[in-house]
Each structure stands twice: as structure tokens, then as C-alpha cells.
Structure 1
Amino acid sequence: MTSNGCREDDQRAGAEIVYGAEECYRHSIELLEELGFPKGVLPLQDLEECGRVRETGFVWMKQKAPYEHFFVGTNTRVSYSTEVTAYVEKFKMKKMTGVKSKQVFLWVPITEMSIEDPASNKIYFKTPMGIGKSFPITAFMTDEEKQKYLAEKTNE
């Protein structure tokens, strides 16, 4: 494939790319675990392609169609476009694209999510305007993660 001078090609140069629903799902779960995020924070459907450039932290996930998810724990509807991108580092995803949260009657882009203090057990989501909101990490955990988390809390 030749480069057409497009920024997208530059961003994705040297990427590890996986294809297909099972491989992409496994790849995205491993990425979330490595970054310290709960597995349910990016509930993407029918993934077709996932990529990561370790040098820059750039990642992308392509799904067959846009997807909306309702997070019961935060009472929030979130929309994921066919492609979600971000630059990642431990406890942080920044310069995110393809994710919007419905606030009252407006869809607001989410450009960053982070766990500032892992001990606080909160995830902070930020908009392009710099306005943000924190939610308990448990709101984005899978049932399996929640059970393990609650068992660990009980044993402390």
C-alpha cells in the first residue's frame, strides 16, 4: 500500500492491526486492562478492525455500524461512531474521537477519559470545552469485574 501523504497513514504507521470480531474484542479488552480501565467502558459491537501504534499510543477500533449504549450505573446514553480513536497511556485516553454522551437534549463529544487517582475508584470524562464529570468505576465494570471488586473490598 502506498502512502498518499494523508495524516491518517502517518498516524497508523507501524501499527499492530487485528481483524475480525473475536480478535478485536480480545485486543480491546487487553488494552483496557493494560490501561487500568474497567472492561465495560467501551462496549463496542461487531468490531471489524482494531489497531495500535505502541510508539505514539494511537489506537483505533472500527465497528460495522454506529452503536448506542445506555449505562445504567450513570444513567447516561453514549453513542459510538463506526470508528473510535484515541491516544492512550496508563489510566488515560485522550484526543478521543467517535464517542458522544447525551446530556439532557444534546450530544456532547467526549475527548478524554482518565483515572486520575486509582484509589478514588472514579473515571473522569472530559469534553472539548474542558468540562468534565466523574463517575464511579463500578458503573463501567462487567458483572465478573464487579463481583471480584466487591470481594476484594470485603476482604480489606
Structure 2
Amino acid sequence: MAEKDGGIVKKGHEEGLRLATSLLQEFELPLGLLPLADVIEVGYVINTGYMWIVQKKKVEHEFKKISTLGSYDSEITGYVEKKRIKKLEGVKAKEFMLWPPVSEITVDDPPTGKINFKSLAGITKNFLVEAFVAGQ
């Protein structure tokens, strides 16, 4: 894929998770935002911000502080920049028995302690950033 040309690629769970975590830190996003399991590959293209994550199978994760279930496909892609992931694919949030795809995640800047999830349907949900701290 042309999008991946010139990308930094890390294979395996440990290396892939390390790269994913360092990207979240670098772009000031909560470390618990992408609860990953059995990572096969993580890649990032510095010039474009394109990021991809491949894991063995889909992962569902409950964010207990906000009682929301997130679904993470075996392949997740998007463009990461400071406090934001846009054109996100492979992430859904359960909302009233529906699973709308999340297309963008933005942390408020200047900081308000809020993080915003926007779906392709135009629905935006706001939560406290602390709900997405690693290990929650």
C-alpha cells in the first residue's frame, strides 16, 4: 500500500505495543485509548501521520469509568497528529445497541479534561480524558 511507504514498522506484540504507546504519548493522547491484544504489526509514516495497527483478532474493551464498550477491529488505521486521530477506521463504540464507527478522536486543546469521539454519522460524544488512562 502506498500509504505505508516509508513507514516505521514494528512486528510482534511487545515492539508493536511499544510503538503504539509512544505515538499516543508523542501526540498527547490518553495511553488507554487503544487497548490492544496480540499485536502483529504497528506502523507509522512520519511524513503523513498515517498509522496502522494489526492484531490477531477483534478486541472488545469496557471503559468502566464511563460504562462504554469499545470495539477494535483486527486492523485499525488513521492519521495521528497532536491531540487528534482523524480518518480513523476499525474502532466502534457501543451506543444504544448500535455500533457506530468512530471516525475521529480529539483531545480538547487548550485542555479541558475532555476527549471527543465523532462518528461517521456526525454524532459526537464527549468524555473525561481520565476514563482512558492506561489500565482502566
| Alignment TM class, shorter chain as reference | over 0.9
CA RMSD of aligned residues (A): 1.2
Structure 2 counterpart of 1:80, one-letter code: Y
Contact map agreement 2:100 2:121 (CA 8 A) in 1: no
- What is the aligned length? 136
TM-score (norm 1): 0.84
Taking only the aligned residue pairs, the percentage that are identical comes to 41
* Partner of residue 11 from structure 1, selected from 3, 15, 40: 3
Match of 1:121 in 2: 113
Contact map agreement 2:70 2:93 (CA 8 A) in 1: yes
Match of 2:53 in 1: 61
1:2-26, CA deviations, whole angstroms, 9 ceiling, x for partnerless residues? Answer: xxxxxxx111111110101100111
The alignment status of 1:105 with 2:97, answered yes or no, reads: yes
Decide which structure has greater helix share.
Answer: 1
Unaligned 5+ residue runs, structure 1?
1-8, 147-156
TM-score (norm 2): 0.96
Give, in whole Å, the separation in 2 of the partners of 1:69 and 1:83: 15
Match of 1:40 in 2: 32
Match of 1:77 in 2: 69
Give, in whole Å, the separation in 2 of the partners of 1:141 and 1:117: 18
Deviation at 1:104, TM superposition (A): 1.1
Kindly report which structure 2 residues correspond to 1:16-31, keeping only aligned pairs within 5 A, or say none: 16-31=8-23
Give, in whole Å, the separation in 2 of the partners of 1:94 and 1:21: 24
Deviation at 1:142, TM superposition (A): 2.4
The structure with higher relative contact order (CA 8 Å, sep 6+) is 2
- In our comparison, the structure showing a higher alpha carbon Rg is 1
Match of 2:85 in 1: 93
Unaligned 5+ residue runs, structure 2?
none
Give, in whole Å, the separation in 2 of the partners of 1:15 and 1:62: 14
